[in-house]
Amino acid sequence: MRELLKRCITGIIYVVLVVAAAWLNSDAFDFLFMIFGIACLHEFKKMVHLKGYSIFIGFLLLWWIFIYLLEEKSSGIYKENAVNILMGLTLVTNLILIRNLFSKKQRDGILSKLQKYIISLFYIGAGCIFLTMIPYQNHAFAKMLIIGIFILIWVNDSFAYLTGRAFGKRKLFERVSPKKTIEGFIGGLIFAIIASIILFNYTDEMNLTKWIALAIVIVIFGTLGDLVESKFKRTAGVKDSGAILPGHGGMLDRLDSLIFAAPFAYACIQFLNYVS
């Protein structure tokens, strides 16, 4: 009972922080996720035994370039090319991590320092950057879009858990995450799509097709992101990435789905904007 109370209080504080920052202004939201990104990097580098602090310098440099310099000072083809390069590097890194999910090798032990640095920078660092870039649409900060994305991930997590508890029989990926079930995944997807329809009716950020497509992308890649982090934790022999959030573990445990799904969600929105 006490553990449940801690989880509830921590969850409420986290939700209030995120929504309040997004509602306040873009600077508050950017700053909050810069801090969250640093916390996630700190936890991840401990899991993969990456020594030194140069990864934080790399992350802050990328942050300054893409969130401040390009977003506020640049436009046109230079900005587009820079974002596309970062997108390509991030998606390739994440796709390699997905491929490694299906490998039975404990890969952490054979990763070089350079590989650990690249994974940390693009899987964690760039994931946070793309999450922060998502609300910037047509030179405005679309706060309901980013709040909607958080709602979709929260709905998916909640109903995947509840559906899995009630009906789960077939394991989704037992070797990495024994508690996840196919029924839970389907339940989370269905309710996330329902939530996207509700968001369409109560916001004017995107049309229905875009909201539904975004929900599907977030559920699929958010689930994969959760599995990727679970494999890193299993390899490191730890239950949680950290202990900063009472009842929830570490910051990366809280944000793993969003960070991994963010570049795919950003690419999805840009593609749908381009073809519509």
Given a contact cutoff of 8 angstroms between Cβ atoms, the answer to whether 70 and 79 are in contact is: yes
Identify the pLDDT of residue 108. 45
In DSSP terms, 90 is beta-bridged to none
Q: What is the pLDDT of residue 15?
A: 82
Instruction: Give pTM, 2 decimals.
Output: 0.91
CA neighbor of 252 nearest in space, from 66, 120, 161, 160: 120
* 168-188 pLDDT per residue, tens: 889 998 888 888 999 999 999
78-93 residue pLDDT tens: 778 888 999 999 999 9
Q: Is 103 left (phi over 0), alpha (psi -120 to 50) or beta?
A: beta
pLDDT band at 138 (very low <50, low <70, confident <90, very high): confident
The residue whose two tokens read 């810069």 is 34
Share of the chain above pLDDT 90, in %: 54
Helices (H), the chain: 2-24, 26-47, 54-63, 70-73, 77-101, 113-119, 126-133, 143-167, 182-202, 208-236, 251-275
CB atoms within 10 A of CB 236: 16
pLDDT digits (tens, 9 = 90+) for 216-264: 999 999 999 999 999 998 888 888 787 776 656 788 988 999 999 999 9
SS3 of 151-214: HHHHHHHHHHHHHHHHHCCCEEECCCEEEEEHHHHHHHHHHHHHHHHHHHHHCCCCCHHHHHHH
